[in-house]
Amino acid sequence: MKIAVASGKGGTGKTTIATNLAASISGTATLLDCDVEEPNAHLFLKPEFIRSNPVDVFVPAIDSEKCNGCRACVDICRFNALTAVGSQVLVFPELCHSCRGCQLVCPEQAVTAQSRTIGWIESAQRNDLLFTHGRMRVGEAMAPPLINAVKQEAPQKGHIIIDAPPGTSCPVITTIKTCDFVLLVTEPTPFGLHDLKLAAAVVKSLAIPCGIVLNRSDIGDESVIRFAAENDLEILLKLQYDVEIARSYANGLLLVEQDEHYLTIFQNLLRRIETQLETSVGVL
Amino acid sequence: MKELVIISGKGGTGKTSISAAFASLASNSVICDADVDAANLHLLLAPQPFEHEDFFGGSLAVINQQQCIECGTCAELCTFQAISEALVIDPIACEGCGVCVDFCPEGAIDFPVQKCGETFFSDTRFGPMSHARLGIAEENSGKLVSVIRKKARQYAEERRASMILTDGPPGIGCPVIASITGATAVLIIVETSLASLHDLKRVNELAEHFKLPVMVCINKCDVDEQIRSSIEAFTTDKSIEIVGRIPFHHDVTRAMVEGKTILERSVDPDLEKAIRSSWSNTMRVLDRLGTPQPVQLNFITNKE
């Protein structure tokens, strides 16, 4: 079962929920950190990485001896990754989406495949928890190929918790599609509500069941609770603002290892997700 | 024309609340919300749009069933696994590369351009604002950021505004790169947590990569003294100026709930003082920096 932890707005507590939920599971579980631009889950797990692999993507290279300057490659590229300067073709690797159109279209076989490292996936084991994250090379624009590489580390069975990046566009969609459930973490403020609405619409467009975690539930107003009720979204967990949570978070500590009380809270959260999934499967 | 872009690496450190407070203190500025994915600045500034345009991002492949001979070439060539064995295109997986369109032997694949969102130019009580709304599950957020920054710049030049104040997105990827390239300087908002410090280092590396001057403002500076010292050690090491230290206070959330910027409400005097001095220090650093040369943003220009 794959559970993604997402939110439109950043800083609502995704990583806190994902790491503690994963650490609360008894037996083998997997945590994947798909926020490859700014991965943070490892700061809480502090695991020793046992494996690090580069993730390479296709980029074209132009064999200038074979190139006849026809510009077919430049014309086919929708991403402006190729430009002709006089009779010479220049490649801008950061703009390439690896569609291979240039290679397919070249009549002279002058476009050859080169690979480029866009980031690394690193894996670790911490007690019974398998952990993998992606770390995008600074200066890279596109996260999705690296996110897909992280997701491929998911085992076939067992509980898989996925920490998603913030926002509502490509990186989030790449992360949550193929998940069984999305946990939307928000806070009861106008920013939290606004971005929850966007995130819920994205999840709905992918037809994935979801539920809400209301973090710092006592700091703002009632509008998230109202929105959830009006849209049949279940609030699966409310966590009040607590200076101790803020300090634990600041210092990269896991709540479930600090306090038995939180262990029970996160185990109950998993149970509620499972119940919700069972009942929705029953309906289908 | 100077442009200050406020970013953070990690989300939720206070970019938008601080951007809005700065907007209330700035005079003769153009405001730009470059966090098009999850835009929030409009919730505090209540912009009244006077200009509105559709934003067309990329195109999406659509198989014309009448013409299709089911040869499977498209599915075979698609590197994004967007075309199923039954030859149905998944619009979410489609990257818009057009390879299937160009190589279909029957010319049976259409490639309509997609409306991905909307751009707005608005009046606010603190001046004009360029902003956007990205459609649900749409791509091309980097391109949309470039469009609204360009609009902000044009307007600012026409009206001889003194600066552009841009609220940026979290992360270090495509929309962030589109937000910061060619700016005068970036202001990184960091909070006193290990995660935020970790992300500060990565986003600072990104700014170094694009040779942009960096300032740092420590928000919620009193949550953890030790991490604050680590942030200060990092900025000293990198010769980055800390322009502000803002204490944690529930008044920030209270102002947000009321739809106000922090200084439009009576707030804790230490909080108010910290915000005012962050702004004046930021302006002092910005004044010292030269106006940057406009750069060509390659990945935003349209094909035509």
The ranges assigned to domains in chain A are: 2-54+120-283, 64-109
Average pLDDT over every residue of A60-76: 96
Q: In terms of domains, do B69 and B170 share one? A: no
Q: What is the pLDDT of residue B295?
A: 55
Residues B203 and B278 in one domain: yes
Specify the CATH number for the domain of residue B95.
3.30.70.20
Closest CA to B12 of A181, A59, A249: A249
Q: Is A80 an 8 Å CB contact of chain B?
A: yes
Helix axes B194-209, B225-237, angle to 10 degrees: 20
Q: What is the pLDDT of residues B73-122, one digit of tens each?
A: 999 999 999 999 999 999 988 999 999 999 999 999 999 999 999 999 99
Average model confidence (pLDDT) for chain A?
Answer: 95
The reply to whether B166 and B189 lie within a common domain is yes
Is residue B202 located within the same domain as residue B101?
A: no
pLDDT reported for residue B294: 56
Least confident range from A152-161, A274-283, B270-279: namely A274-283
Q: Quickly name the fold that domain A2-54+120-283 has.
A: Rossmann fold (3.40.50)
Query: Which of B13, B139, B298 is facing A92, going by the closest CB pair?
Result: B298
Answer yes or no: is pLDDT of A77 > 50: yes
* B contacts of A10 (beta carbons < 8 Å): 8, 10-12, 38, 170
Q: What are phi and psi of A250, to 5 degrees?
A: -55, -35
Domain of B256, in residue numbers? 2-56+118-300
> CB-based contacts of B105: which residues, under 8 Å, 6+ apart?
B69, B71, B73
Q: What is the 3-state secondary structure (H, E, C) of chain B?
A: CEEEEEECCCCCCCHHHHHHHHHHHCCCEEEEECCCCCCCHHHHHCCEEEEEEEEEEEECCEECCCCCCCCCHHHHHCCCCCECCCCCECCCCCCCCCHHHHHCCCCCEECCEEEEEEEEEEEECCEEEEEEEECCCCCCHHHHHHHHHHHHHHHHHHCCCCEEEEECCCCCCHHHHHHHCCCCEEEEEEECCHHHHHHHHHHHHHHHHCCCCEEEEEECCCCCHHHHHHHHHHHHHCCCEEEEEECCCCHHHHHHHCCCCHHHCCCCHHHHHHHHHHHHHHHHHHHHCCCCCCCCCHHHCCCC
Same-domain pairing of B45 and B94: no
pLDDT < 50 positions in chain B: 296, 298-304
What is the least distance, in Å, from the CA of A136 to any CA of chain B? Answer: 9
% of chain A beyond a pLDDT of 70:
99
- Name the residue facing A138 among B202, B250, B299 (closest C-beta): B202
- Find the helix packing angle between A190-205 and A223-230, rounded to 10°: 20
Q: Which of B79, B111, B143 is the last residue of a domain?
A: B111
Q: Which two tokens stand for residue A178?
A: 């193929």
Same-domain status, B81 and B8? no
Q: Are residues B99 and B222 both part of a single domain? A: no
pLDDT for B140: 79
CA distance A218 to B133: 29
- Last residue within a domain, chosen from B76, B111, B146: B111
Residue B225 has which token pair? 């003294």
Does the beta-carbon distance from B38 to A136 stay under 8 Å? no
CB contact under 8 A, B96 and A9: no
The percent of residues in chain A predicted with pLDDT above 90, rounded, is 92
Q: Taking 50 as the threshold, does the pLDDT of residue A202 lie above it?
A: yes
Q: What ipTM describes this predicted complex?
A: 0.93
**CB interface of A with B, residues 178-217, below 8 Å:** 189-191, 194-195, 198, 201-202, 205-206
Nearest Cα to Cα of residue B165 among B4, B33, B276, B51: B4
In chain B, the N- to C-terminal Cα span, in Å, equals: 28
- pLDDT given for residue B292 in this prediction: 61
Q: Which fold has domain A64-109?
A: Alpha-Beta Plaits (3.30.70)
Is residue B6 located within the same domain as residue B23? yes
Contact A181, A160 (CB under 8 A): no
For B226, half-sphere exposure in the C-beta direction (CA atoms, 13 angstrom radius) is 6
pLDDT for B150 equals: 96
Task: Output the six-digit token pair for A111.
Answer: 């476009």
Residues A141, A150: Cα–Cα separation, whole Å: 17
Question: Are residues B96 and B231 located together in one domain of the fold?
Answer: no
C-alpha dihedral, A132 to A134 to A135 to A141, nearest 10°: -170
pLDDT at A59: 97
Number of domains in chain B: 2
Q: Which residue of B10, B55, B146, B218 to mutate against A (max A Cβ within 10 Å)?
A: B10
Q: Within its chain, how far is the Cα of A77 from the centroid?
A: 28
Contacts of B98 in chain A (CB under 8 A): 76, 78, 99, 101
CB nearest to B79's CB, from A9, A98, A105: A98
Nearest chain B residue to A195 by CA: give it: B38
Residue A149 has pLDDT above 60, yes or no: yes
> Does residue B135 share a domain with residue B269?
yes
**pLDDT one-digit tens code per residue, A106-129:** 999 999 999 999 999 999 999 999
